[in-house]
Amino acid sequence: MQVSSSRALVTGGGSGLGRTFVRELAATGASVAFCDVDADAVRATVDLCEELPGKVAGFVANVADEAQVDGLVAQAAEALGGLDVLVNNAGIFRDALLVKRDKETGEVRTMTLQQWQQVIDVDLTGPFLCTRAFAAHCVRTGTRPAVVVNISSLARYGNRGQSNYSAAKAGLVADTVLWAEELAPHGLRVAAIAPGFVRTPILEGMPPKVLERMLATVPLGRAAEPEELWQAVRFLLECDYVTGTCIDVGGGLKM
């Protein structure tokens, strides 16, 4: 696929990696639609891309809401004259140990059902809804080739305190393989990348000593730059013989 002529939809494009993907796509000349739940963040991303050659359209939408996702795909396709790329990037954290005893009070605390369900809804159900709507659009309109890139995580191998997130990201890789098989006859490829630690506002907001300990576990000794994750996404978009796989982009980190 030629990235510069693509028509892409990026979820969670209001900040972090999503904003980087929107900006880098637009910098190539691609037409890009994106969504976020934060209206101010949507406006900020649109403003950031104002001088870039590609068209950028922002929408407020919750990827965990079926009606909003269906509306988003329809609006994005109308704004761009169709869609042939989907980047399922939107995601949230609600970290907690499954069971924890408070050292001072002795109280036993657990991960709540709400913490579990919120992450599953956004990080796993969201990509399902978006991919379903996107693929249906491509099949109905005869759009081919088309590509879906799912943003998983190295936490899919299991990461302490992230039962919800690890389950969602592992499930997303399983769906990547299945959707690649199911959608190949329609001219769609589906692949994924799994970042480790990435230099985003969330990571930079951590206490320096905590961050230092985390990065000490990375063989390359540092966090990834967001643009390095874009390089992996771009490879998946451009290489027409890659589908049904997940590429780890974690500097050698194993969880």
For residue range 128-171, list pLDDT tens digits in order. Answer: 999 999 999 999 999 999 999 999 999 999 999 999 999 999 99
For residue range 83-125, list pLDDT tens digits in order. Answer: 999 999 999 999 999 999 998 899 999 999 999 999 999 999 9
Quote the pTM value: 0.96
Quick one: fold of 3-92+119-249? Rossmann fold (3.40.50)
Domain residue spans in the chain?
A: 3-92+119-249
Catalytic residues: 165
Instruction: Tell me if residue 85 falls in helix, strand or coil.
Output: strand
* 3-state SS track over 183-235: HHHHCEEEEEEEECCECCHHHHCCCHHHHHHHHCCCCCCCCECHHHHHHHHHH
Local structure of residue 124 (DSSP, 8 states): I
Q: Cα(112)–Cα(226) distance, rounded to whole angstroms?
A: 31
Q: What is the pLDDT of residue 86?
A: 99
